[in-house]
Amino acid sequence: MNDCVMPTYARQPVAFDRGEGVWLWDESGKRYLDAISGVAVCSLGHAHPAVQQALCEQAGRLVHTSNIYRIPRQEQLAAELVRLSGMDNVFFSNSGAEANEAALKIARRHGHDKGIERPAVIVMEGSFHGRTLATLSATGNPKVQAGFEPLVEGFIRVPYNDVNAVEHIDDPSVAAILVEPVQGEGGVRVPAPDYLNRLRELCDARGWLLMLDEVQTGIGRTGTFFAFQRNGILPDVCTLAKALGNGFPIGACMAHGAAAGLLKAGQHATTYGGNPLGCAVGLAVLGEMEKLNLPARATQLGERLRQGLSARLAALPGVTEIRGQGLMVGIELDRPCLPLVGAALEQGLLINVTADKTIRLLPALVMEDAAADQLIAQLGDLVEAFLSTTP
């Protein structure tokens, strides 16, 4: 990488030239099995025909106007998200962090409307909500916050998957809870099955908003269109991004009930969010997800991966746990395992390590069984070799 690019990423030594489905080819023509799909972004795989068609057709017609004017494609995409989720309305953004910023502003409006002068939001240890100052402050990872203090105030942190810790908060400034249904960056951590239900009950009892960060779990990845649908509840606010554009940058903040009416004209805005091009892609993505029943495929493939990896690895000393939900799969080891990313790359496999000791797999929902079996075999060999040579 040349010096003209700001060195904010520890990049792997490869550049990709083209992709198709779950496969990528580098500039030399070497093929790679992509098991992270751009960190849960390309759920339809690379170069999906429906996405290509939507991009080309809309780009040749109209890319951008402004949110000053009506945008029919935006209205259509909002209607589809409302139909699929049961929420009431949608604010479109450029990214997940920007969607979470909108959620945090909704929480503060809710607090001020209740007469709270300095509203606070309960957030979870191990969470990740973005890199803007507000979402960084909400995030529960001191490593990514270090060096960027002072952080934005107004957050109360509690352990993840611990409802009792939330119940014991006796602070009249609380206006909302912000939580991920499954923590991705935190190590693919799946909470108790009734965790969200109990948080919903607490929020109802205390007049708090329940806000779900579904930037990584949303759009089918955990086996339902939205992870909260597994619990049979509706949140007050739910944020999306990643798979919504399958690589085109678009995010969304959905609201329900009273939360849907908290932001008024002039109180929040974005330049590019919800423009015709992004919304045309979002409509194509949702259409393919529904037509191909890909959320169900995520469940099926996720079970195949977890069972196969468990059979191959679970008995090995050094493998702590294999867990996940849908196509979010984590393999936790008893030691740091970042070197596995480079070793896998050399063998034509793209994986990711998060929370220092957890291998994270986020393959496309269109992955075929044969590719899943190849992933199990290839990763099994890599982990076994790594554990045998690394203390």
Angle at 241 between CA 238 and CA 247, to 5 degrees: 165
Q: In what order do the strands lie in the sheet with 155-158?
A: 89-93, 251-255, 237-240, 209-213, 174-179, 120-124, 155-158
Of the residues 225, 236, 242, 386, only one is catalytic, namely 242
Residue of 354, 332, 327 whose CA lies nearest to 341? 354
DSSP per-residue codes, 118-149: S-EEEEETT----SSHHHHHHSS-HHHHTTSP
Asked if residue 96 belongs to a known ligand binding site, the reply is yes
Asked if residue 128 belongs to a known ligand binding site, the reply is yes
CB 303 within 8 A of CB 373: no
Residues 6+ apart with CB under 8 A from 312: 376, 377, 380
Known active-site residue 213: yes
Asked if residue 131 belongs to a known ligand binding site, the reply is yes
Known active-site residue 242: yes
Strand 358-361 relative to strand 352-354: parallel, antiparallel, unpaired? antiparallel
Alpha helices (H) along the chain: 37-40, 49-59, 72-85, 96-113, 133-138, 142-145, 163-167, 195-206, 276-291, 294-313, 339-346, 369-389
Of the residues 91, 92, 155, 213, only one is catalytic, namely 213
Instruction: Name residue 283's amino acid.
Output: L
CA 301 to chain centroid, in Å, comes to 18
Angle at 331 between CA 136 and CA 306, to 5 degrees: 120
Asked if residue 149 belongs to a known ligand binding site, the reply is no
Asked if residue 132 belongs to a known ligand binding site, the reply is no
Residue 349 φ then ψ, to 5°: -135, 130
Residue 150: cis peptide before it, omega within 30 degrees of 0: yes
Asked if residue 346 belongs to a known ligand binding site, the reply is no
Strand 237-240 relative to strand 251-255: parallel, antiparallel, unpaired? antiparallel
Task: Look up tokens 């951008």; give the residue.
Answer: 64
Residues 6+ apart with CB under 8 A from 120: 111, 154, 155, 156, 171, 173, 174, 175
Asked if residue 97 belongs to a known ligand binding site, the reply is yes
Of the residues 91, 128, 225, 386, only one is catalytic, namely 128
CB 215 within 8 A of CB 188: no
Q: What is the CA radius of gyration of the chain?
A: 21
Asked if residue 390 belongs to a known ligand binding site, the reply is no
Ramachandran class of 48: left when φ > 0, alpha when ψ lies in -120 to 50, beta otherwise: beta
Binding residues for N(2)-acetyl-L-ornithine: 131, 270
Binding residues: 96-97, 128, 131, 213-216, 270-271
Binding residues for pyridoxal 5'-phosphate: 96-97, 128, 213-216, 271
Catalytic residues: 128, 213, 242
